[in-house]
């Protein structure tokens, strides 16, 4: 089956007995074309199913009005909120978004970067996969003068601006809060320490232990993919420990919620037996019982900030290849899952 060819301005011009130049100007609402003729042109274009080829027009101007985005997953509320922030800023500036999904693999991230580069995006916003080994796949963007902004999972690099939170501080606050609730054996459940976010939260966790007179025990550090299955396995592992930890800092709210449910199904109480602090302030943190103490990680603000920085670079307001680091504020939100002192005194 052959596809129907696209209608062109030449087809419209032939039907209306006008020059192609007149049709082109009329479709662009040019004031040199009188209102009645403009209406004839737009009405006929609609009737014939004409579609303007903005992509080809933009290419002639060496601009596509598209921004590429590479994310490591699509099913997290945090990533959804980041994308909402990006869209809110870019929509008003006339940019379309092309989203690539790395599925937490370096190979797919490289392929996404290659694909977006050849789609001629004007700029790129990216967050790294679990196992990304190096950032050389972003070099072609720099070489072509295409600005890059990294958010969340963003290593120190020579390719673009970083938009992050102070993960060391966040990890410290989460752990210090548990220590302040009387926890003396605090476990830490996290993901790939190759990524800045998890390595820095671990650093904060270790510093808070030291400042509260607690010793770091490598056996209490659990590293996995933060999936539902991993959360359940981690909960059963923690329950078998002797002595059993009385607190845990988990770097993802969904994982923390699954962990808490597994404890409760085994007959343990949260926070009396094990106090829990999560991370991200996802919706699930407010609907689980008890509600989850967590670190508020403002995804929409991070997305909007990343987009504004990129637009400033695209318009020349700021240098196109700045390697600055922008830190977004985060904060500890205390809820029932960690209030061990209050629960034991009831």
Query: What is the per-residue pLDDT across 88-139, written as a single tens digit (0 to 9) for each?
Result: 999 888 899 999 999 999 999 999 999 999 989 999 999 999 999 899 999 9
What pLDDT shows up at residue 9?
Answer: 86
Domain ranges of the chain: 1-39, 63-164+298-328, 167-297+332-344
Examine the pLDDT at 325 and tell me if it is beyond 60: yes
What pLDDT shows up at residue 51?
Answer: 75
What pLDDT shows up at residue 318?
Answer: 84
Q: Which of 5-19, 20-34, 55-69, 72-86 has the highest mean pLDDT?
A: 72-86
State pLDDT tens for residues 268-293: 999 999 999 999 999 999 999 999 99
The yes-or-no answer to whether 63-164+298-328 and 167-297+332-344 have a common fold is yes
State pLDDT tens for residues 203-216: 999 999 999 999 99
Query: Average pLDDT, stretch 315-336?
Result: 90
State pLDDT tens for residues 127-149: 999 999 899 999 999 999 999 99
What pLDDT shows up at residue 89?
Answer: 94
- Tally of CB atoms within 10 A around 79: 21
Average pLDDT, the chain: 91
The class (CATH top level) of 167-297+332-344 is: alpha beta
What pLDDT shows up at residue 30?
Answer: 84
- How far apart (Å, rounded) are the C-alpha atoms in residues 292 and 281? 8
What pLDDT shows up at residue 271?
Answer: 97
What pLDDT shows up at residue 246?
Answer: 97
Examine the pLDDT at 49 and tell me if it is beyond 80: yes
Examine the pLDDT at 55 and tell me if it is beyond 80: no
Q: Between these two residues, 5 and 326, which has the higher pLDDT value? A: 326
- What are the tokens at 62? 């060496």
How are beta strands 275-277 and 123-126 bridged, if at all? unpaired
Query: Average pLDDT, stretch 42-70?
Result: 76
Query: Average pLDDT, stretch 2-14?
Result: 78
What pLDDT shows up at residue 262?
Answer: 97
Q: What is the 3-state secondary structure (H, E, C) of the chain?
A: CCCCCCCCHHHHHHHHCCCHHHHHHHHCCCCCCCHHHHHHHHHHHHHHCCCCCHHHHHHHCCCCCEEEEEECCCCCHHHHHHHHHHHHHHHCCCCEEEEEECCCCHHHHHHHHHHHHHCCCCEEEECCCCCCCCCHHHHHHHHCCCCEEEECCCCCCCCCEEEEECHHHHHHHHHHHHHHCCCCCEEEEECCCCCHHHHHHHHHHHHHHHHCCCCCCHHHEEECCCCHHHHHHHHHHHHHCCCCCCEEEECCHHHHHHHHHHHHHCCCCCCCCCEEECCECCCHHHHCCCCCEEEECCHHHHHHHHHHHHHHHHCCCCCCCCCCEEEECCEEECCHHHCHHHHHCC
What pLDDT shows up at residue 27?
Answer: 85
State pLDDT tens for residues 20-41: 889 888 888 888 889 999 999 9
pTM of the entire structure?
Answer: 0.81
What pLDDT shows up at residue 2?
Answer: 44
Fold of 63-164+298-328: Rossmann fold (3.40.50)
Confidence band of 346 (pLDDT split at 50, 70, 90): low
Share of the chain above pLDDT 70, in %: 95
What pLDDT shows up at residue 1?
Answer: 39
What pLDDT shows up at residue 48?
Answer: 84
Query: Average pLDDT, stretch 298-302?
Result: 95
What pLDDT shows up at residue 53?
Answer: 64
């Amino acid at each position: 089956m052959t596809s129907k060819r696209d209608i062109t301005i030449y087809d419209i011009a032939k039907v209306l007995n006008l020059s192609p130049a007149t049709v082109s100007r009329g479709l662009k609402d040019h004031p040199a074309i009188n209102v009645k003729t403009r209406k004839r042109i737009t009405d006929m274009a609609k009737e014939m199913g004409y579609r303007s080829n903005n992509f080809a027009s933009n290419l002639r101007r060496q601009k596509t009005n598209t921004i590429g985005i590479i994310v490591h997953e699509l099913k997290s509320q945090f990533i959804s909120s980041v994308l909402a922030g990006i869209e809110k800023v870019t929509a008003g500036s006339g940019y379309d978004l092309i989203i690539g999904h790395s599925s937490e693999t370096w190979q797919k991230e490289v392929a996404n970067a290659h694909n977006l580069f050849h789609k001629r995006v004007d700029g790129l916003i990216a967050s790294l996969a679990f196992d990304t080994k190096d950032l050389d796949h972003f070099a072609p963007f720099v070489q072509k003068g295409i600005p890059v902004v990294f958010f969340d999972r963003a290593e120190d690099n020579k390719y673009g601006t970083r938009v992050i939170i102070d993960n060391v501080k966040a990890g410290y606050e989460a752990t210090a809060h548990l220590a302040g609730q009387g926890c003396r054996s605090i476990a830490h459940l996290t993901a790939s320490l190759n990524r800045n976010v998890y390595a820095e939260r671990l650093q904060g966790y270790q510093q808070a232990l030291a400042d509260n007179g607690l010793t770091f025990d490598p056996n209490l550090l659990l590293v996995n993919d933060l999936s539902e299955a991993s959360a359940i396995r981690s909960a059963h592992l923690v329950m078998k420990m002797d002595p059993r930890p009385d607190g845990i800092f988990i770097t993802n709210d969904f994982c923390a919620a699954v962990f808490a449910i597994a404890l409760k199904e085994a007959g343990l109480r949260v926070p009396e037996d094990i106090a829990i602090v999560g991370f991200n302030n996802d919706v699930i943190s407010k609907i689980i019982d008890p509600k989850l103490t967590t670190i508020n990680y403002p995804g929409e603000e991070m997305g909007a900030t990343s987009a504004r920085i990129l637009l400033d670079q695209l318009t020349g307001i700021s240098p196109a290849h700045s390697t600055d680091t922008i830190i977004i504020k985060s904060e500890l939100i205390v809820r029932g899952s960690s209030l061990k002192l209050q629960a034991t005194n009831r």
